[in-house]
A and B are shown apart, each in its own frame.
Chain A
Amino acid sequence: MSQVATIAWVKLRMGVHAVASVRNESRLKVAVISISAIGLWLFVFGVFFEGFGWLARFGGTAGDFALTIGDVIMARMLSVLTLAVFFMLIFSNVLVAFSTLYRSREVAYLVQSPMSYRTLFVARFAECIVFSSWALAYLGSPMILAYGLVNGAGPAFYVASAAFYPPFVLLPAATGSLLTLVLARIFPRLRPKTLALLAAVVLGLFFVYVRIKLSADRLSEENFLPVLLDASAQTQSPFLPSFWTSRGILAAATGNLGECLFQFLLLLSNALMATWMAIEVASRLFYPGWSFLQGQDRKRLRPLGKGILGRLDSLLHRLPNPTRVLVIKDIKLFWRDPTQWSQFVIFFGIMAVYIANLRNARMYTENDFWRNWVACLNIGACTLILATLTSRFVFPLVSLEGRRFWVLGLAPISFRRIVWQKFWLSVATTSTFTVGLVVLSGIMLKLNSIYFILSVYSVCITNFGLAGLAVGLGTLYPNFHEENPARIVSGMGGTLNFVLSVAYVAVVVGAQTLVLNWRVLGLFQNPAAFWWALGGVLVLVTVVSGLGMIVPMRLGLRNLNNMEF
């Protein structure tokens, strides 16, 4: 057996053991996650099927095209999506390749083995591809199926889609790995300030581009189609692999197999070329880069009393111990982990984009119907952002104690205190951002008092419910073997927490939306009936939030108390 085949066999066995270990998981957890996974796939399929179906019903033709407007928009949408996915794949491959090639402990073992760096890279590269591209197969397949069904495509379309998939994921994987190999030689030599400046410039340019190209003002003008075609014109460049993919698949849908084959071979040859280049570069750059990173001078000083983190002790002096040291420890661990705060910064970006685009929604606040919908959607957006925050950052808090739990397990403090400390820390931090967000968005949307109060109340109460869910389920289903918070979140417990968080938000927002809509539609016989219904909904929301907080916290604590370390 070759060395690559041996490593592939080991990975396969590890995969088999991981699947087999599902038998040890709670049946409820497995059932909820399996149903959720199928449900999400069906939901994505439904959205694309309805969306493509709606576009297909567009009448008329677009200018000189022999196609309907719907066909043109659909084709452009496919191109835009393919391009976006292509760049996301490159980005995720850069991240995955860095952790797989340079951070993984497995690499140290492989480097000392009698294996060429070329072989080592090929083995790790295969893992990168699997890690970075499985989600595309899962979420891309319902889109392709929906497109095929709406357009009545023949079997050639589905065969072509499956055939395009391997080279389409291979090319960004090779490109991402190439970038990582080069960056790993350059970045460690740069000063932190230079890196921060570079990141700020890239982010700034990105926001300027988004502002210019994807402005809702432009898309809401009457000349919608030309604006859309103009905005998506860059996706039609014949130099883009995403264009070869979308064009090839669309050609297969219309039975133009010659065009499809040409685009496929174009994509395949480029993917193979990029892979060969990545292997060649790896054989020269991997080891010097890895060795340099291992041999860096690590004297990162963090003196007490210097900087904000160093002064936390005095800033939080009113908190009694051991709560104070637990809070300080959690804050420091969070801010000193780049994988944590870098993703937190992305959340800020999303919130900023959301706030910046709210002014475009003001045109919909002229009449009651739209005002009501915008207000309800705003509550939905704020609570969903909160659900994402708690799912990503709060859920892993207990798991991140990991193999260090002995420190807490030995201390003369109860687990109850530790778990509730994490709950209150979560409420304190997430409510700062989300209450601010809902107040700011309410002011920008000029919501009247009833909507404003409801929005703020919903976000406040869901802070407690979602924190309880995340901390409780994080304690009920901890993963003490994983150090990477992103992987903890993507596990079964994390998925269950996210699904339940979204379901909880749906109940909170859905109940309010229902009552407010009935009022706008005049379905209440008198104002008193509306107020009674609204009061009932608020009681329901409060009770559901209370249950969402208490039940998982109790179950989690019971689990932790029965746990052995």
Chain B
Amino acid sequence: MKKKIAATLLIHLMAWVIALIWIVPFLGVFMAAIRPMGEIIRGWWRVDPFTPTFQNFTAAWNHAAAPLAEGMLNSLRVAIPATIVPILVAAIAAYGFSRFRFPLKNYLFIAIVILMTIPQQMIAIPIFRIMNDIGLLNTHAGLILVHAAWGIPWILFFMRNFFTTLPIEVEEAARIDGASDFNIFFRIVLPMSIPALISAVVLQFMWVWNDFFLALILIFSPDKMLATQRIPLLRGVFHVDWGVLAAGTILVMIVPILVFALLQRYYIKGMIGWASK
């Protein structure tokens, strides 16, 4: 009995320590963001004096060299189509892989899974050259295209696995009812797959929004830069402006956190409530 209590205590203690270690940097960023430079220069953990202010946020939002307002708009311009396009394309392809018979199907699928293991750094130079050749370098369209292509394999894999769990009788019933393949997919299968689609939306959107690497390679005009590219530019020239930097980080973080918070409830609810048997 004693042993059990000790073990529980130990586990709790470890959980708290890990949680604290995880939360401290975030707390630091938050404390730095809401206070003037003078207060945080000797360490954000000194709380005397403590003067909450929004000035860092407005400074980051309207920054002279890299205004975050423009950056977040650019990020949305990229992230929204780079989420919708691959999900639509991959869902259609995944349905084909899960329900139709065609030559070399399994080999193709394995090829797609293998492609998922390629690290992004390996494709940096080829992607740059291809985009340059087709004139899409330094355009949002080019970045959307690359993100879509990068997202398709995992979304395909994910959606195909989901589709195989759907009861095929529902699709057969629709076929007998007179639905074409097209109708079955768009009017029966996709609505039944909303929980999976939302999961894919959340993950792909966060991936694209948080991406720094591909944007760094493909986008270099200051006015086209995405939010993530602008954060390092908020640092300042003669000294590191920690407050503005922290505020910018929080602003950029807010979007994926909101997306996750809003949709997470929906897809968890969907996962539980959707199954009909």
B and A form one assembly: no
List the interface of chain B (C-beta within 8 A of A): none
